Amino acid sequence: MKEIIYSILEEAINVKRDFIKENASNLISLAEKIADAFLNGNKLLICGNGGSAADAQHIAAEFVNRFLIKRDPLPAISLTTDTSVLTSISNDYSFDQVFSKQIRAIGKNGDILLAISTSGNSENLIQAAEVANKMGIYTSAFLGKDGGRLKDLVDLPIIVRSDSVPRIQEAHIMAAHIICQLVDQIIRDRCQR
């Protein structure tokens, strides 16, 4: 059993190390975009399915409440939390539209959309990116495997090059924590000038 644990640990370390080597600049770019949006009175919209939906909620909470430092709340919204909205759209239209309709309702030019997907092929995330692009919303995605269809639809794809869904999800939440810390640092630095 311990061998299994150490094997998982080694795989997780390797996936995260490779991910950071490939994406450090992308994480900085996304953090700067998010910080700019917040400082200009715009918001971060986050969406995903399953475990990625939980990550969307986790990330929104880090911004709205706080991450490591005390600061004012930052406007981040998880599009995965309102069961009445999600079920009404799914029932009356299609589950494929659960995020795109919300973006049309509350999104605006200058906002940021962060889609989270281990495959990059979820139709509801693809429609979300397409709608956001039409509205002038900057789009990014945390993706896995080869990035799927979503990688070609967003402004900034950030891909974990692994076929292991658990390792992809672990790298995604690490990336989210990095983004939170960088955004806090950027905002603090700019407000002290």
What is the DSSP annotation of 130-170? HHHHHTT-EEEEEEETT-TGGGGTSSEEEEE--S-HHHHHH
Residues with Cβ within 8 Å of 110's Cβ and at least 6 positions away in sequence, in order, are 37, 40, 41, 42, 136, 137
Per-residue pLDDT tens for 6-24? 999 999 999 999 999 999 9
pLDDT tier at 190 (50, 70, 90 boundaries)? confident
Q: What is the domain partition of the chain in residue ranges?
A: 2-191
pLDDT of residue 193: 67
- In this structure, what token pair is assigned to residue 116? 């989270």
68-72, 93-97, 127-131, 161-165: which has the minimum mean pLDDT? 68-72
Single-letter residue type at 119? S
Average pLDDT over residues 112-116: 98
Beta strands in the chain (DSSP E): 44-48, 76-78, 112-116, 138-144, 156-160
Average pLDDT over residues 72-97: 97
Q: CA separation (Å) from 145 to 26, 30, 47?
A: 17, 20, 18
Q: Cβ distance 68 to 144 under 8 Å?
A: no
* pTM of the shown model: 0.96
Superfamily of domain 2-191: Glucose-6-phosphate isomerase like protein; domain 1 (3.40.50.10490)
Q: Give how far the C-alpha of residue 178 lies from the chain's centroid of Cα atoms, to the nearest Å.
A: 12
